[in-house]
Structure 1
Amino acid sequence: MLETFVIPILGSLLAGGLIGFEREYKSRPAGLRTHTLVALASTLLMLAAARQGDWDITFFDTQDIVTDPTRMAHGILTGIGFLCAGVIFRHGFSIQGLTTATTLWMTSALGMLFGVGLWGLASVGTAVTLVVLVLFRLFYRYLPRRNDIDVIVRLRGDGATSGQEIEALLRGLGLRAEAVRQRLLGDADVLEVAFKVVSPRGLHLETMVDALRGVDDVRGFELAPREE
């Protein structure tokens, strides 16, 4: 009883809890409870699938029972795909939630490993997942990389400032700016221009804010650094 059910269930709860805690700490859409339940559900289903001979089902006397736990694994991974899709969303030009979706998929895989008795592999997989989530984030801070920012500027529709002038202003700050969308709002009262901007690592958003606030025709703007 202990090795058959208790250890796999406790292992999946611990694995899902640790991964979920990291996501909860980062305030992601799926956190501690979601990851823990995903791991637990995967473990329980695989425990049941591996013991189909114990199912309380009446079969014909001449009918053979063929156990195939891999079919349950396929069903779990298919179902978890729908759950993962729910945490991926688009904000501006950015796609967010990919890492959280991946951790849900990974948590489900770890739960299945605990369910089929591969405790060592599941434990190593849990540790490596935490290393990727925690230590890689620390390394990421010091890697040479560019900062991608989604910039939306709203100008007076009848003003003298055009989208090209705002683009030139951003380039004057040392940014790589490209206008990707323009549209008129409120019966042509407001011209909204969206830019994809690449900035040096050391540039602060306050520099861009001060520059845009200095333009008379600017009615409002949004700066959204892209994340995962």
Structure 2
Amino acid sequence: MHGEPITEIDMLIRLGLGFIAGIIVGFERASRRQVAGIRTHALISTGATLLMLLSIWLPQEYIGLKNGDPGRIAAQVVSGIGFLGAGAIIRLGNNIRGLTTAASLWVIAAVGMAIGAGMFIAAAAAELLSLIILIMLDKFEKQFFPSARNKMLELNYTNSNPSTEEALEVLRGFGIRAQSIDVVQSTRKGKEGKGSKLRLFVTIPDTTDLSKLAKALKAAGDVVRIEIKEKY
């Protein structure tokens, strides 16, 4: 093994740095209410650091393992972290959430292994770049490439002849695109006879103020109830 043998003090310092690195990235994820927050990232980073230290320590400590491969355990960490990342991914209808958090788990494991191997500058650089990606590029992406979600919008009317054009006009004003429209006659009776329901499969931008949208739809016609559901 090349270089000076790793000491217990070195191990404690690296474990502490791995712990701090996990907390920093985990804090950003927790601030966005993601399923994997501070504790998850701190545990992964600290564990990855420990496993990297173990990879280095085993060939150093045992005479029979001097020619061992320090990267063997590290390779298993890279494979194993995929299971945790998969647990952070959630499918909601046609939308998938948690991919960024899964990627952050994978990166923080790599940062922990780099710290365990003593690559402090590379680990710090990766940590800084990760924060830039999660914070600054997130704002850039939302500004220039606003995302949208597919929803089922249901408008309940008091009459049997809903004002479809008025509803579509309101949606267009909010930048919402309707992919399909369906009118369903209700069995309930209102003041003007049987009511009706207008179902629209729409694409709603994430920046849409849903409370303002609901008020605008109610003001445009005889809408008594508005429901926005996930499209499965």
**TM-score normalised to structure 1 length:** 0.74
Q: Quick one: distance in 2 between partners of 1:195 and 1:41?
A: 44
What is the deviation of 1:28? Answer: 1.6
Partner of 2:222: 216
Paired with 1:145 and 1:109, the residues of 2 have a C-alpha distance of: 29
The question of whether the paired residues in 1 share the 8 Å contact of 2:59 and 2:70 is answered with no
Residue 175 (structure 2) aligns with: 175
Partner of 2:119 in structure 1?
118
Report 1:12-161 matches (<5 A).
12-53=18-59, 66-139=67-140, 143-146=143-146, 148-155=148-155, 159-161=160-162
Q: Where does the alignment leave 5 or more consecutive residues of structure 1 unmatched? A: none
**Which residue of 1 is the match for residue 3 of structure 2?**
none
- The Cα offsets for residues 149-177 of structure 1, whole Å up to 9 and x where unpaired, read as 44422245994339x65873345426241
SS at match of 1:95: strand
Q: Which amino acid aligns with 2:84?
A: L
Cα displacement string for residues 156-206 of structure 1 (whole angstroms, at most 9, x for unaligned residues): 5994339x658733454262413269798x99x96654311359x7x6444
| 4+ runs deviating over 6 angstroms | 181-184
Whole-angstrom distance in 2 between the partners of 1:191 and 1:66? 72
> Structure 2: 5+ residue runs without aligned partners?
1-6, 188-195
Q: Shift in Å at residue 10 of structure 1?
A: 1.5
What is the Cα deviation at residue 79 of structure 1? Answer: 1.3
Aligned counterparts of 2:68 and 2:132: Cα–Cα separation in 1: 36
How many residue pairs match? The answer is: 214
Change (3 A) 1:178 1:192: closer
Contact 2:167 2:217 in 1 (8 A): no
Q: Within 2, Cα distance between the matches of 1:183 and 1:103?
A: 44
- In 2, the alpha carbon distance for the partners of 1:95 and 1:8 equals 35
From the superposition, tell whether residues 183 and 93 of structure 1 become closer, same or farther in structure 2 (CA, over 3 Å).
farther
SS in 2 for 1:123: helix
Q: Percent identity?
A: 28
Mapped partners of 2:139, 2:109: distance in 1: 25
Amino acid at match of 1:101: A
Please say if residues 155 and 191 of structure 1, whose CA atoms lie closer than 8 Å, have aligned partners that are also in contact: yes
Pair 147,74 (structure 1): closer, same or farther in 2 beyond 3 Å? closer
Root-mean-square deviation (CA, aligned residues, Å) is 3.8
1:6 pairs, out of 5, 9, 12, with 12
Cα shift at 1:81: 0.8
Q: Secondary structure at the match of 2:203?
A: strand
User: Which letter does structure 2 place at the counterpart of 1:179?
Assistant: Q
Identify which range, 111-120 or 33-42, moves more after superposition. Answer: 111-120
TM-score (norm 2): 0.73
